Homo-oligomer: A and B are copies of this chain.
Amino acid sequence: MATMTMAKALNAALADAMLDDERVVVFGEDVGQLGGVFRITDGLQARFGDKRCFDTPLAEAGIVGFAVGLAMSGLRPVVEMQFDAFAYPAFEQIASHVAKLRNRTRGALSVPIVIRVPYAGGIGGVEHHCDSSEAYYAHTPGLKVVTPATVEDAYSLLREAIADPDPVVFMEPKKLYFASAEADLPARTQPFGRAVVRRPGTDATLVAYGPAVPVALEAAEAAREEGWDLEVVDVRTIVPFDDATVTASVRKTGRCVVIQEAQGFAGVGAEIAARVQERCFHALHAPVLRVSGLDIPYPAPMLEHTHLPGVDRVLDAVARLQWDDQPDARWLTEAGAA
């Protein structure tokens, strides 16, 4: 057990993967000598040489397309997009090739690429540096999309992403890079497709992922004062999604709030809310509510706290879960009338 940051855990995951598997190569903008603007690749070039970890020309479609070619030659590329919005130039390569190559070729070609995307805000970044872009990838069949919220998950999910036979978009919550925790590396937590109950509770379920997980946990803590015992589920892997864990929790608690940092409209939270009510309708005492960023471009630093879903916004939603309204008389009336 040692205390370390998520950044360090990610760095260790890369190093250990490179050590275990010669085919792993790491590249992108500034990942070499500089070690990445967030230092996630720090020391890899010095340790493994500039063929295993190298800088590329400044071109994201190029980086991802180059990774496609390298993967076709049998390597296992791990690429870094410097910031969320700077992965957009690679969108065609990701959506039309990375996501589809296995399918297009009936499995003859696979492209086990990891695309690391530092994402989301809360770091006082200027425009284009704080986008929450996970929904774009999650909506694209053929991609796996995972996002750690803890130091151990950061290590474990990244190792698994690199070992996975499919392309993985690995979303790293920037604001958690330098939060530290006890971790026992090489940690292996749950595999892809498993959500985790981070905090058990009985009254309502908070479903969150990535940067929203600490917010959910904090809100659950604060909710104790209001007399609510909230369960917190960390989604961990958005695709594949763990219906079983989420559904079990909501069936138990009967109430659910989905929290995401991204703008809400047609985001991952919408998917989760839709799934939960599809699967838990009869267990629900209230609609599944969503707490998310506003439907606005990510704002300038001085206004980001207004945009970001915080503890208060979560508690407001929890308060709206119709605690004194079970069963809901209106519901019965209308049902009878139908």
Residue positions of A touching B, CB distance < 8 A: 61, 85, 88-89, 91-92, 95-96, 99-100, 103-104, 127-128, 131, 135-136, 138-139, 141-142, 239, 241, 251, 253-255, 262-263, 265-271, 273-274, 277-279, 281-290, 294-297, 326-328, 330-332, 334-336, 338
Report Cα–Cα, A334/B286, bound state, in Å: 12
Q: How far is the CA of A61 from the CA of B93 in the complex (A)?
A: 14
A245 to B249 alpha-carbon distance, docked (Å): 33
Given contacts A104-B297, A141-B296, whether A282 and B89 have CB atoms under 8 Å apart is no
* Besides A89-B92, A141-B294, A274-B290, 15 other A-B contacts (C-beta < 8 A): A85-B95, A99-B297, A103-B297, A135-B135, A139-B267, A265-B271, A267-B271, A270-B273, A273-B273, A274-B288, A277-B287, A278-B287, A281-B287, A282-B334, A326-B338
Cβ-defined partner of A266 (8 Å) among B85, B139, B254 = B139
A266, B271: Cβ atoms under 8 Å? yes
Residue of A138, A255, A335, A336 with highest tally of chain B CB at under 10 A: A335
Task: Tell whether, in the assembled complex, residue B334 and residue A283 are in contact, meaning their CB atoms are under 8 Å apart.
Answer: yes
> CB within 8 A of A263: which of B141, B288, B338?
B141
Q: Which of A88, A268, A270 has the most CB of B within 10 A?
A: A270
Q: How far is the CA of A273 from the CA of B281 in the complex (A)?
A: 12
Whether B265 lies near A267 (C-beta < 8 A) is no
Known: A254-B334, A274-B290, A286-B281. A266 touches B91 (CB 8 A): no
Tell me the bound Cα distance from A327 to B328 in angstroms: 11
